[in-house]
């Protein structure tokens, strides 16, 4: 899947951006760097303060075929009840649902500091007319969504149709106003560090406010190696342009130990500035209960 440029051709603006990037793309080196970070720093982050912080970074997610207005309203009620029952702790960052349920969450949510996130634009395959993707996103915003998660058009990426891929992201972003756009790279499909770097660059230059690892629906979910490459791209973009892009890990992150590993990578690569739920999220469902149980030392499952 890894793509190469013809050295006889003049690089276009996308190829030039890839060539100018200094982000490490040797997969073995990336794996070694992740291992080194965890070996040196995981212990210092394995504590209740970090567990509480991580809960406040969770996009509490339900993306099921069986979701309904009733089930999504009940899901939202759990977040309301958490706020009532545990006011001493910060809540999750957002509730994440399919785009057609934004209005349901908006009507049921009683907590002001929890955002409404939706998966839109023909999630998870991203296979639809651009007009369909734009309308779906616009309707979700109208219904109350604060944030929108979309998947890059993998067909465009594999065909090296970078102009079309970037135009699509930019067009969806344009319909959202100031609302945050999270662009999902589907790293389990991209596989290599080189591809993950290129998809990160394309997404950030096209208007992504966050770049996100995976849907958790079709391909392998988040990996620490993908997170490392994406965070390095975010760091490089910030150094060049002074713009902070958020990072979201999703797909298969279920345990406190897993979450602490992602926290450690983000902290070591991007630094303290990114340790806020404005710039760091984890998309999950069961993880929220695992984190709560870890910092309260109970078996209670509020979510």
Q: Which residues are catalytic?
A: 149, 212, 248
Q: Residue 74 CB: number of other CB atoms within 10 A?
A: 12
Exposed / middle / buried, residue 240 (Cβ in 10 Å: 0-12, 13-18, 19+):
exposed
How far apart are alpha carbons 269 and 57 in whole angstroms?
18
The token pair at 114 is 């929890």
Distances (CA, A) of 18 to 14, 55, 151, 181, 189: 6, 35, 20, 22, 19
Selection from 181, 179, 238 nearest residue 206 by Cα: 181
- β partners of residue 60: 95, 284
Selection from 2, 1, 30, 34 nearest residue 18 by Cα: 2
Per the CB < 8 A criterion, the answer to whether 223 and 217 are in contact is no
Kindly state the helix (H) or strand (E) to which residue 227 belongs, with its residue range. Answer: helix 224-241
C-alpha 26 chain-centroid distance:
23
How far apart are alpha carbons 231 and 225 in whole angstroms?
10
302-294-50 Cα angle (round to 5): 110
Rg of the chain on CA atoms, in Å: 19
């Amino acid at each position: 899947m890894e793509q190469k440029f013809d050295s006889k051709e003049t690089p276009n603006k996308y190829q030039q951006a890839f060539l100018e990037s200094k982000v490490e793309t040797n997969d073995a080196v990336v794996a070694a760097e992740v291992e080194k970070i965890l070996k040196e720093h995981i212990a210092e982050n394995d504590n209740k303060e970090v567990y509480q912080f991580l809960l406040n970074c969770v996009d509490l997610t339900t993306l099921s075929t069986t979701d309904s207005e009733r089930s999504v309203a009940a899901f939202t009620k759990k977040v309301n009840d958490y706020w009532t029952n545990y006011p001493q702790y910060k809540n999750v960052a957002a509730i994440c649902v399919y785009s057609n349920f934004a209005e349901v969450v908006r009507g049921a949510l009683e907590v002001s500091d929890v955002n409404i996130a939706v998966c839109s634009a023909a999630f998870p395959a991203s296979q639809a007319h651009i007009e369909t993707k734009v309308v779906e996103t616009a309707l979700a915003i109208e219904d109350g969504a604060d944030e929108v998660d979309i998947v890059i058009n993998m067909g465009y990426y594999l065909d090296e149709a970078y102009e079309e891929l970037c135009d699509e992201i930019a067009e969806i972003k344009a319909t959202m106003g100031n609302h945050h756009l999270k662009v999902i790279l589907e790293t389990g499909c991209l596989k290599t560090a080189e591809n993950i770097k290129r998809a990160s660059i394309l997404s950030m230059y096209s208007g992504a406010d966050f770049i996100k690892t995976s849907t958790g629906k079709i391909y392998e979910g988040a990996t620490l190696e993908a997170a490392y490459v994406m965070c390095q791209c975010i760091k490089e973009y910030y150094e060049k342009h002074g713009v902070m892009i958020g990072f979201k890990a999703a797909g298969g992150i279920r345990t406190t130990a897993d979450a602490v590993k992602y926290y450690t990578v983000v902290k070591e690569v991007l630094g303290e500035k990114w340790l806020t739920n404005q710039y760091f999220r984890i998309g999950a469902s069961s993880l929220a209960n695992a984190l709560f149980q870890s910092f309260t030392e109970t078996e209670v499952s509020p979510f």
